[in-house]
Amino acid sequence: MSTHGAELMYTYAVARAGCRPPDGLLGVADAPVETVAEGALAALVSRVPAADFDEEALRAHLEDMAWLERTARAHRSVVDTAAAEFCVLPLRLVTVHRDARGVRQVLAQRAEEFLSALVSLDGRMEWGVKAYVEDPGTAKPSVPASGSARQAPADGSGRDFLRRRLAHRQAQEQSQRRADELARAAHEALDKIAERSRLHRPQDPRLSGVSGRNVLNGAYLIPRDQAGAFAGLVGELADRSPGVRIELTGPWAPYSFTQAPQPSDPGGDTGAGGAG
């Protein structure tokens, strides 16, 4: 049998068997979301054209920002819509199987792990907190109004220039240290009331288009009934951290907490490969 020109199965999330996505929910490529059940588990899936989702096509697509954005938004829409109704274990973007049998196999093989993950995520949502400081590096170092900047650097103005650069640099380092301290303090406070937390890499301002340096990009797992308290704490932190802009995003499905907690892992780092 050949699967030529066929469809593949895009898998969004794992949930307990019996959980049903809302009717009419569409996934990537606008295909209806279905479930594939195995034992106590079910996967949320939809059919996608193999021409776009086999390995080679994907490699090309993933470098295409418009494609990546469409797919990521469709993925999120399915996962978050489902997460509003029942507990889900989100899967990574572009998890694709050949057919339902392949999906069932994974559900069977990793049933224990998935079930315990679902237990640990049940009734919790993820919230994101980002902190930014205005980076003095983005403002031009102020030039004394003597007009010397316009002239060809004579001896003296050359030294002035170096002195200004040094001062500028020191100011930057100082503000960076202060920002890092504030970020650490904010994270510690949030971590204390979160069940789990994870640090994502600070975002590159060229990608986010947001001004200021991103000094904290944290994800926090919070029981649903404590969302208000968490948001309150974020507000307090914002109030007592002058010069720092704090943003709260969410609630998210628990994307950042799909792995069993690792006691001694400082987090944040995506380690190279799993241990098989």
Partner 1 sequence: MTAPVPASEPGHPLADRQIALVDLLDRLLAGGAVIAGDLTLRIAEVDLVRIDLRALISSVNANVPSPFDDLGPDAEEEVAP
* Residues at the site binding partner 1, with contacts judged by CB under 8 A: 8, 11, 14, 54-55, 58-59, 62-63, 65-66, 68-69, 72-73, 75-76, 89-98, 102-103, 105-106, 110, 114, 117, 126, 128, 135, 137-138, 172-173, 176-177, 180, 198, 200-201, 203-210, 217, 219, 249, 252, 255-259, 270, 272-274
**DSSP 8-state secondary structure symbol assigned to residue 187:** H
Residue whose tokens read 């340096």? 213
Whole-number minimum distance, CB 218 to partner 1, in Å?
10
User: How many residues would you count in the chain?
Assistant: 276
**Type of residue numbered 182:** L
Structural tokens at position 45: 């899936």
Q: How far is the CB of 20 from partner 1 (least distance, A)?
A: 21
Q: Rank residues 239 and 269 by Cβ distance to partner 1 and give the closer one.
A: 269
Q: Which is nearer to partner 1, 146 or 211 (CB)?
A: 211
- Give the nearest distance from C-beta 236 to partner 1 in angstroms: 22
Name beta bridge partners: 221: 126, 196
C-alpha span between 233 and 239 (Å, rounded): 10
Q: What span, in angstroms and rounded, lies between the C-alpha atoms of 8 and 55? A: 11
Cβ partners under 8 Å of residue 22, min gap 6 = 81, 82, 85
Whether omega for the bond prior to residue 263 falls within 30 degrees of 0, making it cis, is: no
- Closest separation between CB of residue 91 and partner 1, Å? 5
Residue whose tokens read 């898998």: 11
Of 60 and 240, CB closest to partner 1 = 60
Task: Tell the smallest beta-carbon distance from residue 97 to partner 1 (Å).
Answer: 5
Q: Which helix (H) or strand (E) holds 241?
A: none
Chain CA centroid to CA 91, Å:
13
| Closest CB 49 distance from partner 1, rounded Å | 14
Cβ proximity to partner 1: between 140 and 239 the closer is 140
Closer to partner 1 by CB, 110 or 240: give it.
110
Distance CA 239, CA 213 (A): 19
- Considering the complex, what minimum distance in angstroms separates the CB of residue 102 from partner 1? 4
**Cβ distance to partner 1 smaller for residue 13 or 25:** 13
Whichever of 35 and 256 has its CB closer to partner 1, that residue is: 256
Min dist. Cβ of residue 189 to partner 1 (A): 21
**How far apart, in whole angstroms, are the C-alpha atoms of residue 19 and residue 12?**
14
Between CA 210 and CA 202 the distance in angstroms is 12
- Please, which residue, 239 or 273, has the CB nearer to partner 1? 273
Cα dist. 66→63, 93, 223 in Å? 9, 15, 34
